[in-house]
Amino acid sequence: MKIVTIVGARPQFIKAAAVARKLKSQSGITEVLVHTGQHYDDNMSEVFFQELEIPKPDYHLGIGSSSHGAQTGRMLEAIEQVLLKELPDWVLVYGDTNSTLAGAIAAVKLHIPVAHVEAGLRSFNPQMPEEINRVLTDHAANLLFAPTTAAVENLQREGIPQEKVHLVGDVMYDASLDYAVKAEAKSQILSQLKLTPQNYILATIHRAENTDNPEKLQAIFQAFTKVAQTIPVILPLHPRTRAALQRAEINPTSHIQLIDPVGYLDMVMLEKNAKIIATDSGGVQKEAFFYRVPCVTLRTETEWIELVELGWNRLVPPLNTQDIASSLLDALGKITNHEIPDGIYGGGLATSKIVSLLTQDN
């Protein structure tokens, strides 16, 4: 049995690493790894392959950055050539990036079955490119691996046949269990940045809805500057955000500690030891919960509604400086001690269930 796995962005490397380890333990399975090049900066790509011990990609397409249409089109063309050569039994895609959609379309056009990890998530915001990617991928896929009951219900409402949909849990949770201990042993990021646990805010900003809106971007960084007078704010700066700050002529003050993007193990340590996390990332919202760190999400909606319902996450539309700063300062003073349901996100068994479903007919 041959599986072609398509990845291109940081969260996909983490998820693919967890599934790849499980696939490797099965006899008679060959996995061919295709890296589209969507994240091409070494700090966003190469370091993850090293730290997560992911084999070097069999194909590195080197697509790089471009407009959504151009990038997706170039990926589609290049992935099609790989699939024609490899003729796999399955194409495995992850999440909601342009790499995800391109992989799914290329496979479907060649009548190759598609499996989608992290299916059924919805923000219900059609302005988000990620929302379009995940909806189209779900409706093209043959196997849909949903991380939550809410995701399953979304797919049911959209009329996707029940036999295609499987509640497996969240692969990111499996990865967090695998790598937390390793991060403790290997990462030196806290000492390098002279940070003490529970005495800083970790922030990440990269969504197009924030970076491409100068008013929102200004409000976010002004709020971080204000809050940083009370507690240090550490922000690994995504290349998209750095470019957006330059375009908008926003110069963050020295109160905010801007650092280059970090590897996964360093990010785990920064997340685990933060007082709170402020983010617009879907993956970081979950990782905050995995490590039981309160999270403020700077968006109008989230795909992970259960985290809001459980009280671990609060949504703050990034519309003005005062609201953002007040929400962050308020979160600092709250003690989060909410009940956590048993087995949420699959209890660490998502990868096992995915591999079992992929191989059950072979």
DSSP state string for 24-53: HTSTT-EEEEEE--SS-STTTTHHHHHHTT
Question: Tokens in use for 96?
Answer: 């909601």
Strand order in the sheet with 59-60: 59-60, 30-35, 2-7, 90-94, 114-117, 143-146, 165-167
Cβ 209 vs Cβ 127: under 8 Å: yes
HSE (side-chain half, CA atoms, 13 Å) at 237: 15
Please list the alpha-helical segments (H only) found in 228-349. Answer: 239-247, 264-273, 282-290, 305-309, 321-332
Of 272, 275, 344, nearest in space to 284 by CA:
272
Q: Hey, what long-range contacts does 83-89 have (CB within 8 A, 24 or more apart)? A: 83/4, 83/107, 83/110, 83/112, 84/110, 86/2, 86/4, 86/32, 87/2, 87/112, 88/2, 88/3, 88/4, 88/32, 88/112, 89/1, 89/2, 89/3, 89/113, 89/362
Query: Comparing C-alpha atoms, which of 336, 194, 204 is closest to residue 267?
Result: 204
Per DSSP, the three-state class of 212 is coil
DSSP 205: -
At 347, list the tokens: 């209890």
Return the DSSP state at 280: S
Tell me the backbone φ, ψ of residue 237, rounded to 5 degrees: -95, 110
206 is catalytic: yes
- Residues 113, 116, 122, 127: what is their CA dihedral angle, to the nearest 10 degrees? -70
Q: Which of 139, 206, 255, 338 is flagged as catalytic? A: 206
Catalytic residues, by residue number, are 206
